[in-house]
Structure 1
Amino acid sequence: MKVLIVFSSSELGGAERSLSRMAIASQEVDYRLATLYGEGPWCDWICSQGREPLVLGRGRANGGLMLGAFWRLIQHVHSHPVDVIYVCGARAALLLRLLRIFLPSVKLVHGVRWNPDSNSRLDRFFRLVERFMHPLVDAWITNSAIAKQTLVSRCGIPTERVFVIYNGLESLPAGVPPLSERPLEVLTVANLNPRKGHREYLQVVRDVLKAVPDAKFAFVGRDDMNGEVQQAIAEAGLSGHVSCEGFQADVSPWFRRARVFVLPSLWNEGCPTAILEAMSFAIPCVAFAMDGIPELVEDGDHGILLQRGDYSGMTAAIIRMLTDDGKASKLGIRGRKRVHLHFSLENTAALHSVAFNKVLLSSSE
């Protein structure tokens, strides 16, 4: 079975990283990895993994989607036939379904990597498109059960055409130091984006420092806000306590140092790979109980989940994780075990193979 995974970005975000790892590790499906943009960090990373990416865009700038990239995609599929196109990105999925007339024998699977349940303009448009145009898609793969629920209940998509497959990690990191031996560092791995809640989270940082003045906070991720977060850090007088590390292809050094992992996202989460990675390093996680996060972290067992917007509760949770080594270590160890048992890359790859086979089988019946 040949599957072409098509990303609508050449950045190295959570979706690009997790699905590419799955494709590289798969033994059952012949995957090809493509981007509709030009060269970018994802392309460089794929090359470092010993694979050659299919670059359909031009240049290195990630501007708007170009029709030329879709035409090159169609030409590539005609010269290198595939059974399934697995596309990630709402706009890319919309255009591909409109161009299916040129690919009559190829099945189209839409990867939905977030819960499209918010009232944002993008999510409202997404739900409208899916409601009226879902017959042009053969199947959907979500990485959270809550996202499937949204597709079924709010978009009218038949439940049997939506598969839930969580992200997975290849293996547990070895030589992980005990939490008590790590510095008082609180880690957030997420691109600097309004929906990730970095600016709002700074009030929590300020309050935590009143109780734990030696604490340090690290933000790792691409800056999509043109320096707004860094400016807010400086204006709050937190420059000596909060560092913005930018995009990092390898985040493991930060995970090895972190005592607590915090994801302050406000909406649109599916199955954050960063949370799974933190749990694999035996780090207790603190986040809001929204979208797909409660499907990964059970409150009180692997971390602490708060109601969205409960910043005083988040402050208290971080302080406790920094000062109660026994409790923090217990949550971290349980989280690491949970990742090992339920979120392996091998299982993710196997479930994708099953889903694609069902899609191909249903079309032949």
Structure 2
Amino acid sequence: MDRPCPVPQPGAEAEYREVSASRLTRPANELLSPHIHGSGHILFVIDQLKKPFGGAEHMLLKIIRNLPRYRFRCSVLTFATNLTSCELSSFLCPLYVFPLTCSYDLNAVRMAIRLLKLIRSESVQIVHSFFETSDLWAGTIVRLASKAKLVSSRRDMGILRSAKHRMAYRVLGPLAHKVLAVSEQVRQFVVAADHTPPQNVVTLYNGLESPDPVAPAAALALRRELGFPATASLITSVGNVRRVKGFDVLIQAAAHVCTFIPEAKFMVVGGVSDRPYYDELLRMVEACGLRDRFKFIGHRDNVFSLLCASDVFVLPSRSEGFSNALLEAMAAGLPCIATGVGGNPEAIQDGETGFLVEPEDSHAMANRICRLLQNPLQAKQIGRAAKKRVAENFSLNVMVERLVAVYESLL
């Protein structure tokens, strides 16, 4: 039988280390019984758990920590990780690593047998998959060789899919009993591109936990720590650095803004996922004369505090499913500007709770930034409206309630 919380050892893919469940840290407010006592066993399968985490990984953690533990117990399976044992224990449930680099070699056969044994020995009732290998490889095995129900999460518009993945999703995607789309735009994409029956695709928006307020003095101190003057107009964006996030467009917009508002400063929060693109961005910053005005500060755990220390939030993405960063910025009461892609128009009501611009349009982006900075009263009104919209429509409790309803319908 496979043991939980394994960590693959170099050169020995079949050897694992166990982290005892008794050593897992639980939240201080945990009053219900732990996951192992739940009656419905859900196995979450995700391609990899590697730093820096993206939106899917953070959302998986939220799901595991907030599902009603009297009803469900959870386990996680991944094919690759660079997390330490301590970091793995933050999932608060058994976690398995099945090393998989190719989905059609002899090792893949061994891992398929291992997956089926795990499902049967642990009485897994629902397998919930994230990303291509989990959806297509693990999902097919689950449907063809087990009695477990299959739920698949789709979190983007397929912009990173290869040709073989597009074909595979058309053939194998409809195997899922339920597909959870992170926005209505993603739902429509899944129905059209993957030929999935519409009744099997459910829109489940990301949910945001109610953040603790950040005192103005703390926000000001954070600005000083980062080297931004208290009098600066700080424009912030959040996301791992890769081309789809459109930070090159933001740099172009920043060059325009700084021409009219010299005190404007720009900050990007997020780890580097694409080193060549990051190097290209640094060259752009230099070429545009923005060395002292545009900073990449890397991955940070205090994202909400950084947002509260900012004046405007910009999401310049070329494609999105449904942005967690945008929700956080709205919850911080920031006036937000986002490209009108994916689920962004479902979060922002243009002109009321933020502004939408076309992707790649740095001039429109710069104009919106300037207008907000030059009209602080309007900026505050929009920020308040954005905060209210998130609280009423995109709370974590609402997301969990809807997810539980999906699971219950399959049990």
The interval holding the TM-score normalised by the smaller chain is: 0.7 to 0.9
TM-score normalised per structure 2: 0.78
Question: What is residue 290 of structure 2 aligned with on the other side?
Answer: 238
Distance in 1 between residues matched to 2:340 and 2:169, nearest whole Å: 26
Contact (CA 8 Å) 1:39, 1:55: kept in 2 or not? no
| Residue in 1 that maps onto 2:191 | 152
Residue 77 of structure 2, aligned match among 15, 31, 34: 34
- What is the match of residue 219 of structure 1? 268
Given candidates 273, 284, 307, the residue that maps to 2:358 is 307
Deviations 1:313-338 (A, max 9, x none): 11011112222110111111011111
- 1:1-365 matches, within 5 Å, as 1-11=40-50, 12-27=53-68, 28-40=71-83, 45=87, 47-48=89-90, 51-52=92-93, 54-57=95-98, 67=108, 72-100=114-142, 103-116=145-158, 118=159, 122=161, 124-175=163-214, 177=216, 183-226=232-275, 227-228=278-279, 229-267=281-319, 269-360=320-411
8 Å Cα contact 1:4-1:34 kept in structure 2: yes
State the Cα deviation string for residues 106-142 of structure 1 (Å, max 9, x = none). Answer: 11111101123x5x6x165444222222343222111
Cα deviation for residue 104 of structure 1 reads 1.1
1:37 aligned partner, one-letter code: A
Hey, what's the Cα distance between the residues in 1 that align with 2:116 and 2:294? 46
CA contact (8 A) 2:42 2:75 kept: yes
Distance in 2, Cα, partners of 1:74 & 1:56 = 14
1:363 aligns with none
Give the TM-score taking structure 1 as reference length.
0.87
Instruction: Please report how far the alpha carbon of residue 238 of structure 1 lies from its aligned counterpart in structure 2 after TM superposition.
Output: 1.8
List gaps (5 residues or longer) in structure 2: 1-39, 221-229
Higher RCO (CA-CA < 8 Å; seq separation 6+) = 1
Unaligned runs of 5+ in 1: 361-365
State the percentage of identical aligned residues: 25
The superposition leaves residues 305-364 of structure 1 with CA deviations (integer Å, 9 ceiling, x where unpaired) of 01223221110111122221101111110111111111111111111111122233xxxx
Closer/same/farther in 2, CA of residues 272 and 104 from structure 1, 3 Å limit: same
Structure 2 SS opposite 1:99: helix
Contact 2:116 2:146 in 1 (8 A): no
CA contact (8 A) 1:7 1:36 kept: yes
- Secondary structure (helix, strand or coil) at the match of 2:352 reads coil
Indicate the SS of the match to 2:76. strand
Q: Distance in 1 between matches of 2:78 and 2:137?
A: 14
Measured at CA, do residues 53 and 312 of structure 1 come closer, stay the same or move farther in structure 2, by a change above 3 Å? farther
- Deviation, 1:168, is 0.5
CA contact (8 A) 1:187 1:219 kept: yes
Distance 1:295 1:101, change over 3 A: closer
Whole-Å separation in 1 of the counterparts to 2:144 and 2:194: 26
CA distance in 1, matches of 2:265, 2:403: 39
Distance 1:233 1:303 in 2: 27
